Amino acid sequence: MDEIAVLIPCYNEEKTIEKVVSDFKRELPEAVIYVYNNNSTDNTAMLAAKAGAVVRNEYMQGKGNVIRRMFRDIDARCYIITDGDDTYPVESARKMIDFVLNKNADMVVGDRLSSTYFSENKRPFHNIGNSVVRKCINILFHNDIKDIMTGYRAFSYEFVKTFPILSKGFEIETEMSIHAVDKNMYVENVVIDYRDRPAGSVSKLNTYSDGMKVLKTILRLYRTYNPMGFFGIIAAILAIISAVFFIPVMREYVITGLVPDFPTLIVCGFTMIAAIQSFFAGMQLQTIVQKNRQDFEMNLQRVDNDKKRLMNL
């Protein structure tokens, strides 16, 4: 088991990867630095190896796939994950590691949005998207993570070995944040200075398509982690629609004793039945979610025992 593992997923980062690896080797000489090359067509892998990183390959394209492979392959007491584009300050790593190793944090978030992100980042729609995603998740999941989509984080062994990665691409950061909140893990925020990519380094993010994937991920995870809330909202909307159309029919019946709009009455009845079904579906799924959380706590104890065993080897 490594004491500290620095994980750098890379796709065509030859402009910056050598500097990123060298900076981490200088700041964290005791750490093992892993660069996972994700089908790069440039000299990323060669330059990373030249700088002293352990270079491995992941052939399934997408950041989520790379991180899944990293988390499976590597055992460490503390993991630092960062991007290979030299936008995150290596000087903040020591403070993030301290939270994991000495204060039992499960995830430490490198918070860009509370410092220089909005002034340094030259893509205005990325700024808006980050703010929208942060607000949505903090409202839906009742938490206060300062930067949902940052690529600079530190993790405990327990988090890494119990995190079921489903996302294939850049939605992975959102999934990490929601998993930590839902499983009541200890999350800390460390404010970091963000700098934009250097000249010649190109972002792999597509503002619109990746933004839509992130929003779909939030919706999917809200349905998965809080089915009572998700299906309860659907039930409430259906019940309101049914009531709005039923009231005029009921008023007409009270006044005249007649029901002239039978089709409306029938549709209102079916809509209310759908609302009731949605409500009880949410209740049943919430019971399953609660059972999964209990199973997760038992699995967490097993992972903790595995960690102790590895540390004693």
pLDDT digits (tens, 9 = 90+) for 150-171: 899 999 999 999 999 988 888 8
**Is residue 242 a contact partner of residue 271, using CB atoms and an 8 Å limit?**
yes
Predicted local distance difference test score (pLDDT) of residue 148 = 86
Average pLDDT over residues 168-178: 88
Whole-Å CA distances, 235 to 19, 112, 263: 54, 38, 21
Rounded CA separation 149/110 (Å): 10
Rounded CA separation 215/133 (Å): 7
pTM: 0.83
Evaluate the CA torsion angle 212, 68, 147, 292 in order and state its sign.
Answer: positive
User: E-strand spans in the chain?
Assistant: 2-10, 32-37, 54-57, 76-81, 107-111, 153-156, 187-191
- In the chain, domain spans: 2-224, 227-312
Rounded CA separation 212/206 (Å): 10
Predicted local distance difference test score (pLDDT) of residue 202 = 64
CATH number of 2-224: 3.90.550.10
Predicted local distance difference test score (pLDDT) of residue 262 = 86
Rounded CA separation 167/115 (Å): 28
**Is residue 8 a contact partner of residue 87, using CB atoms and an 8 Å limit?**
no
